[in-house]
Amino acid sequence: MTMVNFTPWTALAGGALIGLAAAGMWWLLGRMAGVAGILGTAIMSRGDDFAWRAAFIAGLFLAGLAAVVLLPGQVNFRLDAGYGQVLLAGALVGLGTQIGSGCTSGHGVCGVSRLSLRSIAATLLFMAAGMVTVYFWVHQS
């Protein structure tokens, strides 16, 4: 098996931007950049609490849109799964974030950088689960 599309410099730049954004949220708002928690509580929020959550969520979509517009032909999106699979996967991710008290961004980016043992354990577990899932998905017969 060969590695395709290995882009270490763009991956490094993207990781640095994610880390910078997470640090900025902590310094400016005193909040963790846990996407699942921000999205999950945005619906129930009011006033200023809703405003920053809505801005954060909108920023996620607008950044993707900006990449498509500013880098034509560079951003390719292809959905190999059906919408039912995507909805099921989303529901399972939502359930997992509730059970694990956080998501990949909350635990993997913010928690690991704070050396939280709980976040390190959660990150190791969801990375292992992802690897096992991909292995069986790719090698199904």
Is the pTM of the predicted complex or chain greater than 0.75? no
Distance CA(33)–CA(53), nearest Å, equals 10
Residues 33/107, Cβ–Cβ less than 8 Å: no
Residues 133/57, Cβ–Cβ less than 8 Å: no
Using alpha carbons only, give the angle 45, 18, 107 rounded to the nearest 5 degrees: 65
pLDDT attached to residue 1: 52
pLDDT in tens, 56-82: 889 989 988 998 899 888 877 777 888
pLDDT in tens, 20-47: 988 888 898 888 888 888 887 887 878 7
**Half-sphere exposure (CA, 13 Å, Cβ side) for 24?**
7
Distance CA(101)–CA(75), nearest Å, equals 32
Q: What is the DSSP letter of 102?
A: S
